Amino acid sequence: MSDNVVHAVAGAGGGILSMGLTYPLVTISTRAQVESRREHTTTTEAVKAILAREGVSGLYTGLDSALFGIAVTNGVYYFFYEGAKGWLEGRKGRLSTLESMLAGAIAGSFTVLATNPIWVVNTRATANKRTVDEAGDEKTPAPRKPMTIIGSLKEIIKDEGVASLWSGVGPALALVINPVIQYTVFEQLKNTVAKKRALGQWDFFWLGALSKLIATGTTYPYLTIKSRMQLRQSKDAAQRYTLVGGLQKIIREEGIAGLYRGIGAKLLQSVLTAGFLFMFKEQLYVGALKLFMLLSARRAALRAGAAK
């Protein structure tokens, strides 16, 4: 079993655990990113509004697609990241900072293209109590029963076509810089600490949290634009809402502050999720490696027995 597969399994498991712990903050930040400037935008007001309209369960709207999405996203990312690292290390024996960034960019690009449809469905599910018209104003539609992942997927394809599943892929590809920054900062910090002492599980938590804080704080405006692009719009409106057009529209109508709507909840969620992810992944990697080694040994023993 290749090492990048083990990393992929550990990353997927770590993503599920960390997302499950912090998901209410995902809901709050997503709502804040897509609500108009006349609506609730602060973290406290967003929580009150969601609880008043939907109860506690409203904080977990879209959780199923988010867990599935984070598992696939992390699995794909770590598979390609470790594969790219292994290929580059095989050529030179050691990665420079630039080569580490290149490995992250390769993995991030593959991940975005493969998983964007999942996050389109999740964004729709998380904001399913609202619709956005062509003018960007938000209206509250008649309540409807939350749809399943497959149901939402079918509805999007039926109403808007398959291409709509890659709405927001432009900003998402631009956001490849987010994990590139995150993992570059993380590796540099980890190497610095490792020179002084052995790393414990909480070291991975704090290093992961700090690296994510820097990465998300730097790239947050693109997150806002991506969320807006992934919401349901008319076909003509969706075509006009491009990366540059979306940036201009938000600044024109809401000012620079509109690009940072929901940043408090998003930073808190991203930092906590990343911290738990790095901490859980290290533990799961060790466990997954032992499991795969045990399975490999068991398979070899069975083959030897059959050969006799």
User: Considering the domain boundaries, does residue 302 fall inside one?
Assistant: no
User: Considering the domain boundaries, does residue 125 fall inside one?
Assistant: yes
φ/ψ region of 255 (left if φ > 0, alpha if ψ in -120 to 50, else beta) reads left
Per-residue pLDDT tens, the chain, 308 aa: give them. 578 889 999 999 999 999 998 888 888 777 766 654 445 456 677 678 778 888 888 888 878 878 888 898 899 999 998 888 888 876 655 667 788 888 888 998 888 888 888 877 777 766 654 444 434 444 444 445 555 667 777 877 888 788 778 777 776 777 788 888 888 888 888 888 988 998 888 999 999 999 999 988 888 887 777 777 766 554 444 445 566 777 778 888 888 877 777 677 778 888 998 999 999 998 899 888 888 888 888 888 888 777 66
What is the rounded CA–CA span in Å between residue 308 and residue 306? Answer: 5
pTM of the model: 0.68
What is the rounded CA–CA span in Å between residue 220 and residue 244? Answer: 15
User: Considering the domain boundaries, does residue 303 fall inside one?
Assistant: no
Tell me, what CATH number does 228's domain have?
A: 1.50.40.10
User: Considering the domain boundaries, does residue 301 fall inside one?
Assistant: no
Question: Looking at the 3D structure of the chain, how many domains does it have?
Answer: 1
Where is 78: in which H helix or E strand? helix 63-92
Boundaries of domain holding 217 = 3-129+144-294
Task: Provide φ and ψ at 304, rounded to 5°.
Answer: -65, -40
Answer yes or no: are the C-beta atoms of 130 and 122 closer than 8 Å: no
Give CA separation, 181 vs 123, 177, 196, in Å. Answer: 24, 6, 23
User: Considering the domain boundaries, does residue 300 fall inside one?
Assistant: no
